[in-house]
Amino acid sequence: MDQTKRQPRKLGWRFALLAFVLAVVISGVIRSLWLDVYFIPSASMEPLFREGDRIVVSRTELQAEPIRRGDVVVFDGRGTFAPLNSGKGPVLDFLAGAGHWLGLAGSDSTYVKRVIGLPGDEVVCCDASGRLTVNGQPLAEPYLYAGDAPSEQRFSAAVPAGRLWLMGDHRSMSADSRSLLGAPGGGMVPLDRVVGRPVQIVWPLDRFTAVGRPAAAADTTTNGQ
C-alpha cells in the first residue's frame, strides 16, 4: 500500500522537472529566434524608456526591414561600447526567466540606443542653431529629453561601412558613441552586433504600449528652415 501511494508523487516530481526543462528549451528557442525581454536600468533613453521599464525586443524586425536613421536598437557592445561604465547606465539586463536562458543572468555588454548615423553618414555637432547635422543637413529630433541640448560635446564623425553611430535620447545622461571618440572603433557599432528592435513596453502596466518606429530616413532631416 505504501509503494502504491508513493508512485504518484514520484510521477508528479518527474512531470514537474520535465515541464521545467521544456520551458527552458522553449524559452531559449523563442529568445534566440524571435523575441526577448530586457530591463532598462537607467534614464539614458528617457522619455521613451524610463528606469525600471521592461521591454520586448524583436529579432525578426531586422530581417523584415533594414535599420534606418532614428530607429532604437538593442545591441551587443563587446568590442565597441563595453566596458563603458560611466554611471550613466546604457546597459540592459536580461529579464525573462531562470539562469542565462530564462534571463536571470544579467549582461553588462548589452545596450539600447538610437541610430543617428548610418554607414557612410557624416554626423557633426553642431550647427549655428545647436542642432546635430547629418551629411550637412540639420537633424530633426523630436524624441530628445525636454531641456537637453542635442549634444554638449562637439564632434565630427564619419561612419564607416557596416557600422552605426548611436546616441541616447537623454543626452545629458547618456554614455554613447560620443564617449568613445578616439577609442578603437570610435564608438561605432557593427551592424551585425545589433540584437533587435524594441517593439513593446510590457512593464509597468501603466506604461504598456507599443514602441513605434520613426519616419523613413529621408524624412528625419529638416530642410534647414
Domain that holds residue 9: 1-33
Q: How many domains does the chain have?
A: 2
- Please report the pLDDT score of residue 110 as a whole number: 85
Do 51 and 17 fall into the same domain? Answer: no
Mean pLDDT of 179-188: 82
Report yes or no on 1 lying in a domain: yes
Q: State the pTM of this model.
A: 0.76
Mean pLDDT of 102-121: 76
CB 126 within 8 A of CB 132: yes
44 given a catalytic annotation = yes
Report yes or no on 225 lying in a domain: no
Residue 96 pLDDT exceeds 80: no
Which residue out of 44, 151, 174, 177 is catalytically annotated?
44
Report yes or no on 199 lying in a domain: yes
Do 124 and 192 fall into the same domain? Answer: yes
Report yes or no on 224 lying in a domain: no
113 given a catalytic annotation = yes
Radius of gyration of the chain (CA): 21
Do 10 and 119 fall into the same domain? Answer: no
CB 152 within 8 A of CB 102: no
Residue 101 pLDDT exceeds 50: no
How is residue 17 written as a grid cell?
522537472
* 207-218 per-residue burial string, b: 16 or more CB within 10 A, e: under 16: eeeebeebeebe
Which residue out of 27, 113, 174, 177 is catalytically annotated?
113
Do 20 and 130 fall into the same domain? Answer: no
Do 203 and 160 fall into the same domain? Answer: yes
pLDDT in tens, 41-56: 889 999 999 999 999 9
